[in-house]
Structure 1
Amino acid sequence: MVPHLITALTGPINELEQRIIDSMPATERWFRLEWMEHTPPFYTSVDIRNAGFKLAPVDTNLFPGGWNNLTPEMLPLAVQAAMAAIEKICPEARNLLIIPENHTRNSFYLSNLVQLQRIFNMAGLNVRVGSVSPDVKKTTVLELPHGESLTLEPVVRTRGRLGLKHFDPCTILLNNDLSAGAPGILEDLHEQYLLPPLHAGWSVRRKSNHFRSYEEVSKRFGKVLGIDPWLINPLFGKCSDVDYSTETGLDAVQTQVDVVLGKVRRKYKEYGIKEKPFVIVKADNGTYGMGVMTVRDAKDLEVLNRKTRNKMAVVKDGQPVHDVIVQEGVLTQERLNGAVAEPVVYMMDRYVVGGFYRMHPDRGVDENLNTPGSAFVPLAFDQSTHMPQLGARPGASAPNRFYMYGVIARLAMLAASYELEATNPDAEIYE
């Protein structure tokens, strides 16, 4: 099942799909050479938008939840990728500790942890879940709706190592995006691998750094394919020292909105696109779709009501917003069951392992879908057709469409690799 595009203007994406499929050997070789130079993030999920005339990532998550939304058919891929990832980092690994988010009562999130536990168990590891939350003082068994359960244990720090009572892991997997900052208990670990690293957390990471890296990647990949990188790259600008509650810095945001909209208008004119451009203004750090709004005209920012300002002023864990990214809005012209939908691609190590569609019946084609009320529909891979089908008509083959999504997602993952290298506080600096 390929979700249908509601616009007749599907030519450019079908052309792009054809170009990507035809260039598959060159594409895969290019990625292979990149991964010889750069280390992929341990696991990644990427939100992608398909406008019919443009296909681009709009968010890259380095602490992905939602593993419970992958179908059973996708599990073998995830297990193989997990084996490859662990083998590179700690070949003799026996024990893996997963550190979850502190708010662990959400049953969907808990199911995600159970799925991660299952994947790494099948990859040959003893896996336990340990919380760094001060509220978790004893072993707790949490019952889930479908008869599953999750055992949550308090972490213990002994002689510079993090573990559980009678459980000493060589690898610690963070499934906690550290929005409120890295707790001291995770710092200066002795001979243990912490994945992803602390500087991947939202207390340090900035979306503008990521999309600057993605811009570089898309230009280089555009040369390989012989395409305008704009077809796969959302334009953006950044503002600092913003305070929505006091309305400080909003004039700078307005200016940046005007600049980005102007660039997008010129591109739309170049390609004969009749849609009205828009931008997404969002916190430069943070997740869960918080601190996000659609802006179609810079003047809209002059009349923000108190409710909108309050919504934009803080993100997860009550963290105040001071840095803002103004990103070219990418329409989503895909529909599933009548609802607006966007693909989310999941990767482990450098491999695409699956994904799903995020859909929202109450949202428009130019709005953020990562909000309460969204639902998830697994990507409908037919088990026998994971591989792209050469010669298939563009837009007609689900594996070809998903291969194209996987290429875009891997470009975003590569950009995350560049970004983490550039922001690594432990990297040696050579003059």
Structure 2
Amino acid sequence: MTVPYLSTALKGPLLELESRILGAQPHIEHWFRSQWHAHQVPFYGSVDLRNSGFKLAPVDMNLFPGGFNNLNPEFTPLAVQAATSAVEKVCPEAKNILLIPENHTRNTFYLQNVAALVHIFEQAGLKVRLGSLNPEITEPTELTAANGATVRLEPIERRGNRLVLADGFSPCVVLLNNDLSGGVPDILQNLEQTLLPPLHAGWAVRRKTHHFKAYDQVADDFARLISIDPWLINPYFNATKGLDFQSRQGEEALADSVSGLLDKIRIKYREYGITHDPFVIVKADAGTYGMGVMSVKSPDEVVGLNRKARNKMAVVKEGLEVSEVIVQEGVYTFETVNAAVAEPVVYMMDRFVIGGFYRVHTGRGVDENLNAPGMHFVPLSFESACLPDKNGNPDCPPNRFYSYGVISRLALLAASLELEATDPDNA
């Protein structure tokens, strides 16, 4: 697959940004190495990017990525290498790994993701078994993924401070692919085994605003490194708390927050001669799966929401009520695949980019959330394992994807700083 079409005439700033990234590649890679000496890299993660032609920025960072089945299988060796590196860091003698997936066992595409993860770790020479937190799983249960792959879930037991399976399987590493939206179960507390990602990475504790506060720092440091305006790679944001969408509590405060952010974006649009209308994304400060998200171009749009809109914003995954939101600068996506709006999602394990895909939605616009029913995925053709082509144009596929990999790794670094700042052991 060739790189998707970037359907915008406003390529000037972005081409300049990509050119600067390519020109500074040795400095950038050295800088990343120094950062990973100073900070512990998250075990894995995925980043949603938006490319507007004048701005390239992350808009979400997932620390429990659930789309490994959408990656280009040609790059499985990259994932295997990264998995080997990640596991060796935490348990050099590791032979066994217990993978704990989400509880939604009826989502056959998610099960396909679980099967893909199992395949990666088995290729890395590990014995992988699946332990479930789902109370409905009381005995070993085989389920079939969307592609026909079989996954076998087993109930987890706790013996002392270790998680085991009924036959005594006792892993060195417990890997969560469950984002703990519904809270942290007691069975995961105070384990002597290495648990990754850590419990405070789950949505019971984590907040998007914490992540983007950390990303502010990373983007500023990186912008100084390559002499760019940090706004080109960083969406503005602020937070609004004390909301109750059903009773309309906090609507005026939310409208003020939206208004202030739109004013800031307008200043930047004027500076860069951008004629599009600025917009913001209002989304739950905790949570995933594209729930509790709305695209807004005027503060009036968040006042007096109708019942359908209130219901949409009031509750997210696990039925949790939304009282805190992040109001984030909206970044247009002017990339298209077969005339449908697309955004890149980049996957990383350890500190390595291991692939990605385009989230494509034929029914959504350039200023809307694409993580919604009706989306489909197109694997990215990372060429030369995301290494740049020094002889190519700044926006040729390898160089476009190298830039995507750089911005994604900035988000991964921000996640590292975020987890350090929210670690209860550092309090």
Scaled by the length of structure 1, the TM-score of the pair is 0.97
Rate the CA distance shift 1:385–1:314 in 2: closer, same or farther, 3 A: closer
- Summarize deviations over 1:5-58 as a string: whole Å, max 9, x none: 111111111111110001000000110110010011100000000000000000
> Residue in 1 aligned with 2:15?
14
Q: How do residues 168-183 of structure 1 correspond to structure 2 at under 5 angstroms? A: 168-183=170-185
In the TM superposition, what is the alpha-carbon distance from 1:145 to its structure 2 partner? 4.1
Aligned to 2:9, what secondary structure does the other structure show? coil
> Residue in 1 aligned with 2:186?
184
- Summarize deviations over 1:110-135 as a string: whole Å, max 9, x none: 01000100111111110000101111
In the TM superposition, what is the alpha-carbon distance from 1:182 to its structure 2 partner? 0.7
In the TM superposition, what is the alpha-carbon distance from 1:147 to its structure 2 partner? 3.4
Quote the Cα distance in structure 1 between the aligned partners of 2:356 and 2:282: 26
Unaligned 5+ segments in structure 2 are none
- Summarize deviations over 1:255-307 as a string: whole Å, max 9, x none: 11011000000000011100100000010000000000001000111231111
> Residue in 2 aligned with 1:106?
107
Quote the Cα distance in structure 1 between the aligned partners of 2:146 and 2:325: 38
Quote the Cα distance in structure 1 between the aligned partners of 2:165 and 2:293: 38
- Summarize deviations over 1:203-252 as a string: whole Å, max 9, x none: 10000010000011000000001000000000001011111011111111
Unaligned 5+ segments in structure 1 are none
> Residue in 1 aligned with 2:200?
199
Quote the Cα distance in structure 1 between the aligned partners of 2:376 and 2:293: 19
Aligned to 1:63, what secondary structure does the other structure show? coil
> Residue in 2 aligned with 1:157?
158
> Residue in 2 aligned with 1:407?
406
Quote the Cα distance in structure 1 between the aligned partners of 2:331 and 2:48: 11
Quote the Cα distance in structure 2 between the aligned partners of 1:77 and 1:154: 31
State the number of aligned residues: 425
Aligned to 1:303, what secondary structure does the other structure show? coil
Quote the Cα distance in structure 1 between the aligned partners of 2:127 and 2:50: 37
Quote the Cα distance in structure 2 between the aligned partners of 1:41 and 1:314: 28
> Residue in 1 aligned with 2:347?
346
Q: How do residues 171-320 of structure 1 correspond to structure 2 at under 5 angstroms? A: 171-190=173-192, 192-320=193-321
Q: Is the aligned partner of 1:423 residue 2:425?
A: no
Rate the CA distance shift 1:146–1:292 in 2: closer, same or farther, 3 A: closer
Q: Is the aligned partner of 1:146 residue 2:147?
A: yes
Q: Is the aligned partner of 1:122 residue 2:123?
A: yes
Whether contact under 8 Å (2:386, 2:405) holds in the other structure is: no
Quote the Cα distance in structure 2 between the aligned partners of 1:385 and 1:426: 37
Q: Is the aligned partner of 1:39 residue 2:18?
A: no
In the TM superposition, what is the alpha-carbon distance from 1:140 to its structure 2 partner? 0.6
Quote the Cα distance in structure 1 between the aligned partners of 2:376 and 2:164: 35
Q: Amino acid of the residue matched to residue 270 of structure 2?
A: K
Q: Amino acid of the residue matched to residue 392 of structure 1?
A: G
Q: Amino acid of the residue matched to residue 387 of structure 1?
A: L
Quote the Cα distance in structure 2 between the aligned partners of 1:388 and 1:302: 47
In the TM superposition, what is the alpha-carbon distance from 1:144 to its structure 2 partner? 2.9
Q: How do residues 44-63 of structure 1 correspond to structure 2 at under 5 angstroms? A: 44-63=45-64
Rate the CA distance shift 1:18–1:183 in 2: closer, same or farther, 3 A: same
In the TM superposition, what is the alpha-carbon distance from 1:143 to its structure 2 partner? 2.2
Q: Amino acid of the residue matched to residue 323 of structure 1?
A: E
Percent pairwise identity: 60
Q: Amino acid of the residue matched to residue 303 of structure 1?
A: G
> Residue in 1 aligned with 2:83?
82
Q: How do residues 346-385 of structure 1 correspond to structure 2 at under 5 angstroms? A: 346-382=347-383, 384=384
Quote the Cα distance in structure 2 between the aligned partners of 1:89 and 1:367: 39
Aligned to 2:425, what secondary structure does the other structure show? coil
Scaled by the length of structure 2, the TM-score of the pair is 0.98
Q: Amino acid of the residue matched to residue 337 of structure 1?
A: N
In the TM superposition, what is the alpha-carbon distance from 1:386 to its structure 2 partner? 4.2
- Summarize deviations over 1:39-78 as a string: whole Å, max 9, x none: 1110000000000000000000000000001122110000
Quote the Cα distance in structure 2 between the aligned partners of 1:294 and 1:147: 37
Quote the Cα distance in structure 1 between the aligned partners of 2:362 and 2:146: 25
Rate the CA distance shift 1:132–1:385 in 2: closer, same or farther, 3 A: closer
Q: Amino acid of the residue matched to residue 418 of structure 1?
A: L
Question: 4+ runs of 1 displaced by more than 4 Å?
Answer: none
Quote the Cα distance in structure 1 between the aligned partners of 2:263 and 2:416: 30
In the TM superposition, what is the alpha-carbon distance from 1:198 to its structure 2 partner? 0.5
In the TM superposition, what is the alpha-carbon distance from 1:381 to its structure 2 partner? 3.0
Aligned to 2:41, what secondary structure does the other structure show? coil
In the TM superposition, what is the alpha-carbon distance from 1:385 to its structure 2 partner? 6.6
In the TM superposition, what is the alpha-carbon distance from 1:426 to its structure 2 partner? 1.1
> Residue in 2 aligned with 1:392?
392
- Summarize deviations over 1:350-386 as a string: whole Å, max 9, x none: 110000000000000000000010000000234x574
Cα-Cα RMSD: 0.9
Quote the Cα distance in structure 1 between the aligned partners of 2:76 and 2:9: 36
